[in-house]
Every structure is written in C-alpha cells, then in structure tokens.
Structure 1
Amino acid sequence: MKRKLMAAAIGVTAAFAAPLAFTSEELNFDAYRQMLADGNPAELFEMEGEELWVTARGPKNATLEQCDLGLGPGVVEGAAAQLPRYFADTGKVQDLESRLMHCMETLQGIPSGEIIGGKFRQGERGKLASLVAYVVTHSKGKPIAVDVSHPKMQDMYAMGEKVFFYRTGAMDFSCASCHGEDGKRIRATHLPNITTNKGAAEGWTSWPAYRVSNSQFWTFQHRLWDCFRQQRTAEPVFASDVTIALSVFLAAKSNGYEAQWPGVKR
C-alpha cells in the first residue's frame, strides 16, 4: 500500500507542478503552496496512518487505539495541538513522535530502538511518520495550547531556547543564524523569525509537511535533523532530549496560533 501511496503522491505533485511557471526575478513559493493547500498530498500519508492506527501489529498483535496522547486513551482530536507535554506515566516530556514511539513499544511490542536506529521514511520510522500525519490532521485549525507549567516543561523550554542560540559546527551556525531576523530567505523559501511569537508559530504550525521538491512527507523530527545537518554539526539522535526541547521552545512560543498541519513546503 505504501508504494501505491508514494506513486500517487508523485503523480499529484507532477500534476500541480507542470503548469506552474515563475518569470519574476525572485521565485516565490508562497503562491505554489497556496495552490496545493486544498489538495495536500500529505492526505495520502494520513490515510496510511489511519490504517496503521487500527491495525493489529507487532509482537503483541495489538492496535494503537488505546494510545494516550495526553487527552485519554485513543483520543486524537486536538491532541497534537497540546504537544509536547509532560507525561506522568513515563516521567518525561514527550513530543508527538516520541509519544507514538512509546505507544508502539508498550502496546504493540515494537522496540523503540528499531525506530531510533532506523532511517527516515523507512521501516517502522516510516510508519511512525504516517501515524504523525494521521494525528496532526485532527488538530488542523485548532489553537496551539502547550502547557509549560510543569517544572520539567520549563526545563525543556530553557534548554530549547539555549540550543536555538547556540553556535556550533564547521560554519559556526545556530538556529538563530537563519531564523533570528525578519525578511530572510533561502532561495524561494521565506524563513520565519522564530525569536518572535508570530515567527515561531509560522514554523511550528506548518510542520510536519509534505515537501513538493522530493515528494516526501517530513515530520518535525526529520526537519530538525536536517537543520542540524545543514549546520554541519553533529546530527541529533531521533527523539532525543535536544530535539524535544527545541520543539517545546517553538510550540510554547506558538500558543494561541492556529495549527495548519500538515503543511506544504518547497
């Protein structure tokens, strides 16, 4: 089924891309994104995720229908808009991907190590991405409401802010190097100023997203991993504290803004 969905996604992208041409000196992807908004190919990944949610899998031959994303077992409506959050049952702050990974291990018996040690868009990590697409769709249009009152959430926010401004790697870049000022672009893509609440919301509420340039669906963990790669620094471990801390920082600064999940990117 996944191959069929991928093929369909490529077909949809090609159909949209063929008639579109920009003649201005500055290529603007915003218009392209708007064209795709009503027929986002991410829907194909959402469909696969919905099927995975109700399919018995893993050593325990169980579904994910009892997975608690913070609003009670099985509740997906509005759940992503309130993540990351502190979970008492794990004693940890978890984002959507790490929480789904926890459910896959505890309910289905699928080892977290298989996902952490895997590759994006492949195997169980690829299935996790489809589950993300399914869950976030149920928060589209809902206001971000991340609770940072717990001390561990406050610690994560502080860590995320520190990481955001920390310069590292061969190019001495930080997240703020690209996302610390208004009006910056990379080629056709506008770079939000994440030091502002509006800019943080532009980033947080539009990922995960379907990437038109390569016909792929990228989760936020995938996006963060690629940001570190582009900084020419050590790439983070999947669902590690540093990635979750950055997620808390962006999400909390986005409180009150509406989620646009899943987004459409270049």
Structure 2
Amino acid sequence: MRQTLWIKTLAAAALTAGLTSLPAHAQDSRVNDELAKYREALADGNPADLLEVRGEGLWREKRGPKQASLEACDLGLGPGKLEGAYAQLPRYFKDTGKVMDVESRLVHCMVSLQGFKADEVTRHWYSKPGTESDIEALVTFIGAKSNGLKIHAPASHPEEARMAKMGEYIFYRRSGPQDFSCAICHGQEGKRIRLQELGNLTTPAGAGEAMKTWPSYRVSQGAVWTMQRRLIDCMRQARWPEPNYLSDAVIALETFLQKTASGTVMETPGIKR
C-alpha cells in the first residue's frame, strides 16, 4: 500500500515538473487537468485515510499520566461529540476564556484530561521523516467527522468577533522585509504563483474552497498538513516573523477565514499539490 502511494506521489511530481516546459498560457489548463485526474485516482485511497484511522485509535486509547482517553474532550458541542465540531471551530470556550481552534483545544484536552505537559504534546506538532505527529492524526480524524456538513463559524460571541477582526487586520496588514500581506496573493480574482492558482479568500466562495478540504494530504510533501501548519508556512514564505504554534495570530486568521467560508460544505481530508 505505502509503496503504491509513493509511486503515485513520484509520478505526480514528475508530471508537474514536466509541465513547466509548456508555454505559460497552456500551463494552467494542463496542470489543473492533470491534478484533477490525480485527485480522482486517489479518491478511493487518499493517504490521509491511514492517518484518520490512527487518529481514531489515539482518540480512544487511554494514555498519559492519568491513563485517560480523549473521549470526554469537549470540542464545543459537548464531551465526546465530534459530528460537525470541526466545522464550527474556532470558537469561544468558557472553561478557558479563549477562542480556540481544533489544535489548541486538543492540546488543552491532552493536558487537562490525560495529564500530559503542553510542551510534551506539542514537541512534534507536525510530522517529519521518521517522526509521526499525534496531533496531525487526531485532527485528521476529527476533521473527517465534519465531512459533508456546512462550515458554521459566524463569530457571534464577542470574543469570536474580536478574533475575526484581528484576523482580518492580519490578512490585510503588509509586513516583513518584502512589505507583504496575505491579501497581495489572496485578495482578488485571477492570481497565481508559478503554476498554482491563488484563491480570493475575501469572498465566501473563495474562502470556502480554501477551507473546506483541510486537513489535507499534500502530494509535494508526502504528508498531511493541518490548517495551523498551512498558515504558519504561508507566513514563513511571506518572510514574516514566524509565529509560534497555537499563537493567537494564527487562530485569529483561522477565525476570519472560517467566518468568511461559513455555509461551505466540508470535504476533508483533501488532497493538495
């Protein structure tokens, strides 16, 4: 199974590299067509499915100093209720007095319910060669429980509204040595970088298209990425000071984007280039 997926990944990478020799006006159409075919070929065998199964095992397993499972974790709909929970995050949690996304809430539950230390569970918050991430697996499992349901994150609580406003400010703020902002790439229609189309995240349709498939398996990386990792990497590429994992800045951006994407039907885990 793994060998087959690896061969498919290499084939996709080689195909994309070969397409760069085409004239610029033909590249977009060809790349989109070939990526669509590749996604279709993996539709019944998304590598993220394996991580989803692992995440379910971690959710139910009794672990940590307290030898407890995560089945009592409240992601906003009540202890252990996962159907649609991801699609309604980030949201305000009274017990912490904070707006939290799925990853910050998971860390909170792993600390409070299972007795882990925060630095212990966040040490491997994303996978590396030879090192698997429990958080990525759990997020993939939880995200899949919202598949087919609509994103509903209206930011109606005052703290949610404040975070959404902060996220909007960050989205448009030009910063870093290149005087860059999120909006430069994602603030209007018809933009691209190299062979990649850049969605307009200021519209419900554009934000919805971007948000509905996360977490996603990234073919170019051979790994599943969460929304935290995607946004932190975007900031890095924009040459901004890289934010800490679970920082308010990243959660604020998520809140703004999820609010904009509300009404879009989730399709996760997705497949990205």
Q: Distance in 2 between matches of 1:69 and 1:265?
A: 26
Partner residue, 1:38: 44
Taking structure 2 as the reference length, the TM-score comes to: 0.88
Deviation string 1:16-48 (CA, Å, 9 cap, x unpaired) is 653884766413334433432332110011011
Q: Go from structure 1 to structure 2 and tell me whether the alpha carbon gap of 1:51 and 1:117 turns closer, same or farther (over 3 Å shift).
A: closer
Q: How far does residue 125 in structure 1 lie from its aligned partner after superposition? A: 8.3
Where in structure 1 are there 5+ consecutive unaligned residues? 1-7
Counterpart-to-counterpart distance in 1, 2:127 and 2:96: 26
Contact 2:63–2:69 under 8 Å retained in 1: yes
1:201 pairs, out of 208, 223, 232, with 208
Question: 2:158 maps to which residue?
Answer: 151
CA spacing shift, 1:30–1:176, aligned 2, 3 Å:
farther
Cα distance, 1:10 vs structure 2: 5.9
Give the partner amino acid of 1:126.
Answer: S
User: How far, CA to CA, are the matches of 1:107 and 1:10 in structure 2?
Assistant: 38
Native 8 Å contact 1:178 1:184 kept in 2: yes
- Aligned-pair CA distance for 1:238: 0.6
Counterpart of 2:8? 15
Change (3 A) 1:124 1:54: farther
| Unmatched 5+ stretches in structure 2 | none
User: What is the DSSP-based 3-state SS (H/G/I as helix, E as strand, rest coil) of the residue aligned with 1:152?
Assistant: helix
Counterpart of 1:5 in structure 2 is none
Residues 179-225 of structure 1: CA deviation (Å, up to 9, x unaligned): 11111223332211001111111111122110111210100000011
Query: Is it true that 1:91 corresponds to 2:97 in the alignment?
Result: yes
For 2:216 and 2:179, the matched residues in 1 are separated by 28
Q: For residues 80-159 of structure 1, what are the structure 2 equivalents within 5 Å?
A: 80-116=86-122, 118=124, 120-121=126-127, 126-159=133-166
Determine which of 229, 232, 248 is the counterpart of 1:225.
232
Distance in 1 separating the partners of 2:78 and 2:52? 21
What does the per-residue CA deviation read over 1:109-156, in whole Å, with 9 as the maximum and x for residues that have no partner? 111223445552169981011000000001111001114111000000
For 1:260 and 1:88, the matched residues in 2 are separated by: 29
1:79 pairs with 2:72: no
* 1:175 paired to 2:182: yes
Name the residue aligned to 1:58: 64
The 4+ residue runs of structure 1 with deviation greater than 6 A are none
Q: CA 1:235/1:192 → structure 2, altered by over 3 Å: closer, same or farther? A: same
Q: Secondary structure at the match of 1:39?
A: coil
Change (3 A) 1:9 1:234: farther
Report deviation, 1:174.
0.7
C-alpha contact (below 8 Å) 1:114/1:124 kept by paired residues: no
